[in-house]
Amino acid sequence: DFIDQNYLSEYDAITVNSEIMRQTPFEEMITLRDEYPISDEDEETENTYLAWNVVTGDPGNIKEMIAFDVIDYALFSMPGAPVKQALLDHGIGKDINSLFSDGILQPYFSVSSRNAEESQAEEFVRIIRETLEKQISEGIDRKSLLARINYMEFQFREADYATYPKGLMYGIDVFDTWLYDESNPFVTLRQLDAYESLRRELDGDYFEKLIKEKILDNPHAALIILAPKKGLQQERDQKTAEKLAAYKASLSEEEIEELVEATKALKAYQEKADTPEDIECLPMLTREDIGKKARQLSNIECRLYEEPHEGINPEIIFHRASSNGIGYMDIFWDIHNVPMEEIPYIGLLKAVLANVNTASHTYMDLNNEINMNTGGIAFNTSVFEDLKSVNASEYRVFFSVRGKALYGMIGTAIDYIREVIT
C-alpha cells in the first residue's frame, strides 16, 4: 500500500511485452569470424581463439540441465577429461575451457581453445565430435559421472553462499526458470529427485543419448573464430576520431556550447554532495536495533593424542555448531622455517596437489573419489597476524588444507588428504 499510495498511484498502468523470443534453430552449423587487436610486440601466431557452441535443452527441465553440467565435468573440464586431453594432444591450443550456460531461455554448451591457429578451426570441431562419438560407443566413465552428481548434490544441500543471505540467493535462483515460464518458478529449488534419477540413469545410456541428440545431431551450432590483428586498435581509434570530427563539424556554435554546458552540469551533479535532507531519506539502523550481546562461539580445545605420537601431538580446536550434517575441517602447518624466497613455490605446490598421481590412484581417479565421497578438498597458504608478538607487524604463514564432508565421511576425507600429502 505504501508504494502504491506514494508512487505507483501517480502513474497509469501499461502492458509491456517483455517476452524474450527464441532464436530460430539453424539448419546447419554456422561459422563466424572476427578479429581482436594486439600490440605490435605480440605474436599473431598461436594467438587465435576458437569456440564451438551448441544450443541445448529447456531451462525448465532441471534433470537435463544438471545432466549437461555432469557431462561437462566428465568429458571436458575435469583433470584429464577425454575431450580436453584429445585437443591438447593434437596441439589445438594450449588452454581448453568448457561451459554449460543455463538459466537462460536457450541454454548452450560451449568448448573453447586459446592460443590456437586459425587454420586449426576445422580440426578443432572434428576432434571434439570424434571424441564424443567414441565416448558414446565405448560408454562414458561412470565414476566420473557419479562423482559430479554426488558433488553437485552436496553443494545443493549445503547451500553455502558465503556472505550472501541464503533467502536472497534462492530468490535469484528461481529467475532461472521463472523469467521464461511463470507456471514453474520453483523447479530450481527442487533438485533432489533429479540427482536420484540421474544416479539410476547410470545403469543405462541416458547420458550417451543426450550427447547424441542434443549435441552431435544438433545443427543449431556455431563455430566462432577470433583472430589477432596488429594495428586494429589504431584503425578503430582513427574511425572513432573521424566520426566525432564529422559530428562536431555538423554542429552549430550554439549546439556545441549546449553540449559543453550540459557536460559541465552533469559533472557538477555527479560531484555534488548529498544534502542532509537527502541523507535522512535513507533507512538507518539505530543503536537499539543492534544486539548488545556478542554471539557465543563454541571453542573446544584438545589434543589429537593423549600422549605425543612420534614426538607430535597437534592441537585441535573444535567448534560445535549446526551445519546440516556437514563437517568442515581446516588443517594448518606452520611453515615459518621455509625461506622467504621459496614461499612462491608453496603456491605452486598447492596448485598441483590432488592433480598428480599418488601411490594408490591416478590423478583422474583421485579427483573422482574425492568428489564422490566429499564436498571437496582444497590446499592453500594462509597468513595471520601474530597476536602473541609485541610487534604488530609480525605475521605467521601456514600451509593449509580445507575439507568438507558428511559427518560419516570425515574419516574418508582425512584419508584422501593423507594420501595426497604423503
Measure Cα distances from 1 to 4, 5, 126, 282 in Å.
5, 6, 61, 19
d(CA 213, CA 136): 11
Three-point CA angle 243, 247, 252, nearest 5°? 165
Say what the pLDDT of residue 148 is: 95
Helix, strand, coil fractions of the chain, as percent rounded to 5: 45, 20, 35
Say what the pLDDT of residue 392 is: 64
Say what the pLDDT of residue 307 is: 81
Say what the pLDDT of residue 192 is: 92
Q: What are phi and psi of 233, to 5 degrees?
A: -65, -40
390: cell is: 609485541
DSSP 209-276: HHHIIIIIT---EEEEEEEEEETHHHHHHHHHHHHHHHHHHTS-HHHHHHHHHHHHHHHHHHHPPPPH
336: cell is: 615459518
Residue 77's contacts (CB-CB under 8 Å, 6 or more residues apart) are 84, 97, 98
Q: Under DSSP, is residue 3 helix (H, G, I), strand (E, B) or coil?
A: helix
Say what the pLDDT of residue 202 is: 96
Beta bridge partners of 398: 334, 382
Q: Which of 55, 46, 129 is nearest to 94 (CA)?
A: 46
Domains of the chain with CATH codes: 20-229 (3.30.830.10), 299-421 (3.30.830.10)
Say what the pLDDT of residue 17 is: 87
Say what the pLDDT of residue 59 is: 86
| CB of 192 closer than 8 Å to CB of 75 | no
Say what the pLDDT of residue 422 is: 84
Task: Note if the pTM is more than 0.85.
Answer: no
Mean pLDDT, 10 residues at a time, over the chain (422 residues)?
85 87 95 96 95 92 95 94 97 96 94 97 98 97 95 92 91 90 87 95 97 97 97 97 97 96 96 90 86 83 81 85 88 89 88 88 90 93 80 81 91 92 86
| CB of 121 closer than 8 Å to CB of 52 | no
